[in-house]
Chains A and B, each alone.
Chain A
Amino acid sequence: GNSVTQMEGPVTLSEEAFLTINCTYTATGYPSLFWYVQYPGEGLQLLLKATKADDKGSNKGFEATYRKETTSFHLEKGSVQVSDSAVYFCALSDLGPGTYKYIFGTGTRLKVLA
């Protein structure tokens, strides 16, 4: 079945460091890919998405490119801030006859130190 694998955390970085959180997926067909962010005590909110191969999603300085050849959707940011400390989830939407599911990775906790 379809699945999402993302790197284990926690990831601890100093402010202004470069961030990469790896995400790979297995899927039949052509899923849409998402990154969600969860700040402490809150629900998840969409960070960015990409709906087809080679699409780049971007928001708030974060970017991710839909790479079908490597089945990856890695999240990157050039210079992280303390306010970026959160849990990040990679996800895909699984479309099929009569079904519409979202599949999430296990989440990666990011801690940014001042």
Chain B
Amino acid sequence: EAQVTQNPRYLITVTGKKLTVTCSQNMNHEYMSWYRQDPGLGLRQIYYSMNVEVTDKGDVPEGYKVSRKEKRNFPLILESPSPNQTSLYFCASSPTGLAGGTGELFFGEGSRLTVL
């Protein structure tokens, strides 16, 4: 089954404790992206990647890191989480890549993160 898988789905952590949210897709998509969803703000893009080893900042990249060493994986790293990073996070992928296009986004089920 074609899907985007995120883990963990739920996490409660404390300020400053490094964490990684994994994202994997099995559709051979070039494009992957991370979003955070907050009430009243909709989805805001954190980082995106147009292909392996090609990443770029979205609209709210502060406090986050990403890497794209393999096509299927795009982990989101919070080196020193703070309470303002409490949010619902979504990973997404698309067949759109360096070749351009208008492909739809395929979303994971979300990871709810609470930073105390």
Residues of A whose CB lies within 8 Å of any CB of B are 32, 34, 36, 41-46, 49, 51, 89, 93, 95, 98-107
User: Which label, helix, strand, loop or mixed, suits the secondary structure of the A interface?
Assistant: strand
A-B contact pairs, 16 of them (CB 8 A): A32-B102, A41-B109, A43-B92, A49-B104, A51-B102, A89-B42, A89-B43, A93-B96, A93-B102, A95-B100, A100-B48, A102-B33, A102-B45, A102-B105, A103-B45, A104-B43
In the complex, what residue of chain A is closest to B43 when comparing beta carbons? A104
Residues of B whose CB lies within 8 Å of any CB of A are 4, 31, 33, 35, 40-45, 48, 50, 56, 58, 90, 92, 96-97, 100, 102, 104-105, 107-110
CA distance A42 to B45 in the complex (A): 18
CB of A5 to closest CB in B, whole Å: 10
Most buried by A among B31, B43, B56: B43
